[in-house]
Structure 1
Amino acid sequence: MSKPKQSFYNLAWRWHFYAGLFVAPFMILLAITGIIYLFKPQLDPWMYRELMVVEAGPQRQSADTLLAQVRQAYPQGHVGQYLPPLNAVHSAQFVVHDGGRELNVFVDPYNAKVLGAQDGKQNLQAIARALHGELMVGTVGDRLVELAAGWGVVLVVSGLYLWWPRGRNSRGVLWPRLSARGRVLWRDLHAVSGFWGSALLLLMLLSGMTWTGLWGKQYADLWNRFPAAMWNDVPKSDQQAGALNSAHRQTVPWALENTPMPVSGAHAEHMGHHDMHSAPAAPQITLQQVEDLAKARGVAPGYSITSPNTAEGVFTIAVFADDPRNDATLHVDQYTGKVLADVRWHDYSPVARATELGVMLHEGKMFGPLNQIVILLVCLMILLGSVSGLVMWWKRRPSGGLGVPPLRHDLPRWKTAVTVMLVLGVVFPLVGVSMVVMWVVDSLVVRRGRVAVQA
């Protein structure tokens, strides 16, 4: 093998090692929380059966009747959202903000009986989702997840280079040498699972990155463009629809996150904009009218209705559908019931469509159980790759050291490799910044090591 290739192999090894040591704990956490959230459709009705499953009756009560019962049960609470029953045997759900807590309150739609409540932030799925998105520590966690996902892309790229057969037979390349023992077996499990899972792992990492606060926001700003005419040139507030989403709850589709919220304007002439923003909501249309509107407009089941918070706020009907072609986001004037905006799949740009499809594949919702099984296999591959990588490192690390692969001093500047790294550093700014930091630290460590050797 020629010296340059050998040397770049050495450099790729080093980058892969550093990235792996940082990324592996995050990947293990993301895979485990991802598996929990993946099976939400099956786990929720099983775990919360008495809250979520009801017996079908002859006649459903109106949304306003159900709302009145919830308000009676929580007189001090503010009802923020209503989720009509998904089907004939599902309860209706209200999101109630009460005494600093966010509650999911479930109501039997046939007899309007309040079935009970769960903590909206402290149930298994909400915790899994918040851990998955921002490690439950807000912005810092979001940036760490984004950094780990960006470095995950570097891991896949450098890992494929290290895996490349280079004239070896397929044993240990396309399938593991199960007869091997110790480190060789771990190495084969690591390399083979990494190879077979690489394309899907890249899809998972990139589709997941679209939700992140820094890279994802820039990506959304770049691609989520809607013509002004779509909003019927209605007055717009300074709030974006993304404000309706949180780490533990998804309301509007990704493609709508950075679109402006319209304002309810029937009374705008009677008070200043500032007064409207601080005054409480005073809807003149009922919740049932909004639900009827959703049905009349053919919005797919599974949608939520978010109530206005202020005098200028709107009702938002939104469905983040398992099949993104059924996505819908409607903003409704709280005074007149006029639809101020109605955005569907056909309004999305090609990039927004591709992203929504990627997100739904990521969440295992596109093709039912088959999609769930594929994503489960990817998560298991991620777990196997992360654990086997950590085991390999643990087995070969020297006592009292990290076991960083040695860097040859005759290393040539390998242009293509440097270009690939630079491109990844520019595309993912957090990765780029951390690369510079790592290069400085690494140079200091290597230099210190060299001085020690010379001494």
Structure 2
Amino acid sequence: MSQPTPSFYNLAWRWHFYAGLFVAPFMILLALTGIIYLFKPQLDSLMYDHLLNVTPAHHSLSADEQLNRVKAAYPQGHISQYLPPINLERSAQFVLHNGGRELNVFINPYNGDVLGEQDAKLNLQAVARALHGELMIGTLGDRLVELAAGWGVVLVVSGLYLWWPRGQSAAGILWPRLSRRARPLWRDFHAVTGFWGAALLLFMLISGMTWTGFWGKQYADVWNQFPAAMWNNVPTSDIEARSLNTATRQTVPWALENTPMPVSGAHAEHMGHGATPSGPAAPGITLQDVVDIATARKVEPGYSITLPTTATGVFTVAVFADDPRNDATLHVDQYTGQVLADVRWQHYSNVARATEMGVMLHEGKLFGSLNQIAILLVCLMILLSSISGLVIWWKRRPQGRLGVPPLRHDLPTWKTGVAIMIALAIVFPLVAASLIAVWVLDRLLLLIRKKRPREHLS
């Protein structure tokens, strides 16, 4: 007689369990913070109307006049960034460091009144973004989020294997059986939302990982390539543009993160005002000059201007547009006003373009309200699938134990499963290390289980 085809269902269930127990809390946090950041435009208008909106007048102050008003209000402050009004009814914004705090200071561009300030790191959106990206604990949090995203892929793949119909009716597979109660109903919610949301979750995981500090940086280094000729005649530093981005603030587009920052004053005659290469910034051009350059180059409103901090630093004009085709990043010599680099959508590689589009879809910005609603539904599906999975586990777990799904019999090597794991390990190195650790832990649990005396049924 031929041997029966082995069933790897319990093995897949075991790995799905491990992945789910680790990933679910992260998925819940990422979905909740993602929803907050998703509706940033609406929430900002609701919460900060007094800071953002102004009544238009016939005459507006220059950027330098606005800068002087803010300096007068914060004489000890160090100004790092200027955001011109996005339209006639919006305020201008300065980012400055004052007394150990980073502040967003809003100013009426028509009369120069300082409208108020906002803690740049502790406002709702900044906190949501920092939690979403690095759990507000820096590099460790970034790596944990990346691990959770990688294990999320394991969760989706193993979940689809478990979901795959094996002679059952469509009920409970394609739609939940609402007539059921307790754990069976939660199981249907978990399976159905997991199936319908699988492809969307994979998209959210992969597009989100492009911003991570380890995998995202390697990905960017491979695919964010620009023609060498763009930098041939431009003196550059060892600092990358990614230094302008932080956990709470996005300045340059993803496609520009690994590009070198040019330097000002490449020739001695450019360095006026007694500046030295190692000294502080001493711009020979005004902030309004940089605004005029951005206007002349047709940079889309909504851009920021990052001020130089050293004698060789540059002004950086950058817009991370809702439609990436309007992205622009300009580096301007602080002494001469020469545009050292002007990078637009047409300069991006095809992979960088696809990634930027994916990021904007991920953030719900590409198609306006429709995109927001679609991503909201995805977040709600992630929440329902994660919470229902935890409920199922909680209801079935043995008293005092995790309730790891048992392997019912010895199995041959699951070649398909091994191939998937190897592929994931190659694509996601951090996941590879954690897979080995979990595999070792799983072997230990199996050994302990075999040595433990069988419990007698009462």
TM range (shorter): over 0.9
User: Following the alignment from structure 1 to structure 2, what is the Cα–Cα distance between the partners of residues 339 and 239?
Assistant: 18
Note the C-alpha offset of 1:200: 1.0
Matched, 1:168 2:168: yes
Structure-1 residue corresponding to 2:102: 102
Structure-1 residue corresponding to 2:441: 441
User: Following the alignment from structure 1 to structure 2, what is the Cα–Cα distance between the partners of residues 215 and 265?
Assistant: 35
Structure-2 residue corresponding to 1:322: 322
Pick which of 398-407 and 163-172 moved more. Answer: 163-172
| Amino acid aligned to 1:226 | F
User: Following the alignment from structure 2 to structure 1, what is the Cα–Cα distance between the partners of residues 152 and 343?
Assistant: 34
Identical aligned residues as a percent: 73
Matched, 1:79 2:79: yes
Pick which of 253-262 and 52-61 moved more. Answer: 52-61
Match of 2:16, SS state, is helix
User: Following the alignment from structure 2 to structure 1, what is the Cα–Cα distance between the partners of residues 4 and 385?
Assistant: 28
Structure-2 residue corresponding to 1:140: 140
User: Following the alignment from structure 1 to structure 2, what is the Cα–Cα distance between the partners of residues 182 and 4?
Assistant: 35
User: Following the alignment from structure 1 to structure 2, what is the Cα–Cα distance between the partners of residues 199 and 437?
Assistant: 27
> Residues 276 and 351 (structure 1 numbering): CA distance in 2 closer, same or farther, change over 3 Å?
farther
Matched, 1:177 2:177: yes
Matched-pair contact (CA < 8 Å) for 1:197–1:378: yes
Matched-pair contact (CA < 8 Å) for 2:81–2:94: yes
Matched-pair contact (CA < 8 Å) for 2:270–2:336: no
User: Following the alignment from structure 2 to structure 1, what is the Cα–Cα distance between the partners of residues 61 and 175?
Assistant: 59
| Amino acid aligned to 1:134 | E
Structure-2 residue corresponding to 1:415: 415
Query: What's the TM-score once normalised by structure 1's chain length?
Result: 0.97
Note the C-alpha offset of 1:412: 1.4
Match of 1:80, SS state, is strand
Note the C-alpha offset of 1:4: 7.3
Matched-pair contact (CA < 8 Å) for 1:24–1:387: yes
Note the C-alpha offset of 1:166: 2.0
Matched-pair contact (CA < 8 Å) for 1:63–1:287: yes
Q: Which consecutive unaligned segments of at least 5 residues does structure 2 have?
A: none
| Amino acid aligned to 2:23 | V
Structure-1 residue corresponding to 2:351: 351
Q: Which consecutive unaligned segments of at least 5 residues does structure 1 have?
A: none
Structure-1 residue corresponding to 2:196: 196
Note the C-alpha offset of 1:226: 0.8
Match of 2:285, SS state, is coil
Structure-2 residue corresponding to 1:338: 338
Matches within 5 A, 1:379-390: 379-390=379-390
Matched, 1:395 2:398: no
Pick which of 416-425 and 253-262 moved more. Answer: 416-425
Structure-2 residue corresponding to 1:42: 42
User: Following the alignment from structure 2 to structure 1, what is the Cα–Cα distance between the partners of residues 352 and 8?
Assistant: 37
| Amino acid aligned to 1:424 | L
Write out per-residue CA displacement over residues 100-156 of structure 1, whole angstroms, 9 at most, x where no aligned residue.
Answer: 110000000111111010100010000000000000000000000000000001111
Match of 2:452, SS state, is helix
Matched-pair contact (CA < 8 Å) for 1:95–1:102: yes
User: Following the alignment from structure 1 to structure 2, what is the Cα–Cα distance between the partners of residues 156 and 444?
Assistant: 25
Matched-pair contact (CA < 8 Å) for 1:255–1:356: yes
Note the C-alpha offset of 1:169: 1.4
Structure-1 residue corresponding to 2:228: 228
Matched-pair contact (CA < 8 Å) for 1:64–1:287: yes
Note the C-alpha offset of 1:276: 4.8
Match of 1:346, SS state, is helix
Match of 1:278, SS state, is coil
Q: How many residues align?
A: 451
Matched, 1:310 2:310: yes
Matched-pair contact (CA < 8 Å) for 1:232–1:340: no
Match of 1:357, SS state, is helix
Note the C-alpha offset of 1:347: 0.4
Query: What's the TM-score once normalised by structure 2's chain length?
Result: 0.96
| Amino acid aligned to 2:341 | A
User: Following the alignment from structure 2 to structure 1, what is the Cα–Cα distance between the partners of residues 400 and 333?
Assistant: 66
Note the C-alpha offset of 1:3: 7.8
Matched, 1:26 2:26: yes
Matched-pair contact (CA < 8 Å) for 1:7–1:408: no
| Amino acid aligned to 2:38 | L
Match of 1:329, SS state, is strand
User: Following the alignment from structure 1 to structure 2, what is the Cα–Cα distance between the partners of residues 298 and 374?
Assistant: 31
| Amino acid aligned to 2:222 | L
> Residues 391 and 246 (structure 1 numbering): CA distance in 2 closer, same or farther, change over 3 Å?
same
Note the C-alpha offset of 1:227: 1.4
Matched-pair contact (CA < 8 Å) for 2:102–2:120: yes
> Residues 252 and 51 (structure 1 numbering): CA distance in 2 closer, same or farther, change over 3 Å?
same
Structure-1 residue corresponding to 2:218: 218
User: Following the alignment from structure 1 to structure 2, what is the Cα–Cα distance between the partners of residues 453 and 3?
Assistant: 31
Note the C-alpha offset of 1:45: 1.4
Write out per-residue CA displacement over residues 354-389 of structure 1, whole angstroms, 9 at most, x where no aligned residue.
Answer: 100000000000000000000000000010011000
> Residues 270 and 42 (structure 1 numbering): CA distance in 2 closer, same or farther, change over 3 Å?
closer
> Residues 3 and 141 (structure 1 numbering): CA distance in 2 closer, same or farther, change over 3 Å?
farther
User: Following the alignment from structure 1 to structure 2, what is the Cα–Cα distance between the partners of residues 200 and 184?
Assistant: 25
Match of 1:87, SS state, is coil
Match of 1:29, SS state, is helix
User: Following the alignment from structure 2 to structure 1, what is the Cα–Cα distance between the partners of residues 193 and 168?
Assistant: 18
Match of 1:308, SS state, is coil
Matched, 1:66 2:72: no
User: Following the alignment from structure 2 to structure 1, what is the Cα–Cα distance between the partners of residues 444 and 52?
Assistant: 58
| Amino acid aligned to 1:442 | D
Note the C-alpha offset of 1:182: 1.1
User: Following the alignment from structure 2 to structure 1, what is the Cα–Cα distance between the partners of residues 197 and 329?
Assistant: 35
> Residues 52 and 270 (structure 1 numbering): CA distance in 2 closer, same or farther, change over 3 Å?
closer
Match of 1:30, SS state, is helix
Matched-pair contact (CA < 8 Å) for 1:235–1:265: no
Structure-1 residue corresponding to 2:115: 115
| Amino acid aligned to 2:346 | H
What is the root-mean-square deviation in Å for CA atoms of aligned residues? Answer: 1.6
| Amino acid aligned to 1:262 | P
User: Following the alignment from structure 1 to structure 2, what is the Cα–Cα distance between the partners of residues 16 and 104?
Assistant: 44
User: Following the alignment from structure 1 to structure 2, what is the Cα–Cα distance between the partners of residues 134 and 100?
Assistant: 22
User: Following the alignment from structure 2 to structure 1, what is the Cα–Cα distance between the partners of residues 277 and 444?
Assistant: 55
User: Following the alignment from structure 1 to structure 2, what is the Cα–Cα distance between the partners of residues 204 and 367?
Assistant: 16
